[in-house]
Structure 1
Amino acid sequence: MDTYIGMWGWIWVVAFLVLFIGIGVWGMKKTKNDEDFAVARGAYGPITLAFAFAATIASGATFMSVPGMAYSKGFAAIWYPATYPIAIYVGMILAIKLIKRAGDKFRSNSLPEFLGQR
């Protein structure tokens, strides 16, 4: 039985690698210059950008600040992970339209580039 599970584990690992290498090759063929790589030729709308931005923030908060807050606040910290996803995604959906409009105006590809041009 263990050999059977081990075999399927390796099949999934290889399938995963093949899938992501294929996605990488496909994306590489579509990318013509640095701007294409950075902003995907502006193909994504504000909702997609809001979710990507919020996921970046949520990942950092999840692994860095939440354990420390839970250690210092104790059980009261349980409210943070319960309400944070709702607040961050709603906030980003509202704010990203302004951020995208300003980024398009200054033709900046990243937040540091935007702040430098402002």
Structure 2
Amino acid sequence: MRVPTALVGCAVYRTAFDQQVRLLLVDSGRVDAELVIETTLMLRDTAGTWHHLEPGTGAALAPVLDLFGHTVRLVEVRGAGALLMAFDSGMELRVYPHPHYESWDLTGTGVAPITVGPGGHPDWDGQ
């Protein structure tokens, strides 16, 4: 699978959460993609504090709202599908593969569709 480097330069246009965490990532005319996170995520805020967040936990997901309007400056996929995204604000998002569940999914215009299923995916290109 290819690392979704097309996300670099995209702004977080919308955040949403329920049983999943969703980010709409847009770079007008180039990329219009949705990242769906279904398992635990780690989010570093602008003060450098790490938040361990679980989809489906309501108001506990509030730190995700601070991603709104910020631009992706780095995207990496490590190991079997650990997603790392860094933003212009200094915030950082990490999502690791889960042994039993789909952890993250990316679809949309300007990106190849990616699903990191149970156990992850061992082959990543484009670092």
TM-score normalised to structure 1 length:
0.25
- Larger fraction in helix: 1
- Larger fraction in strand: 2
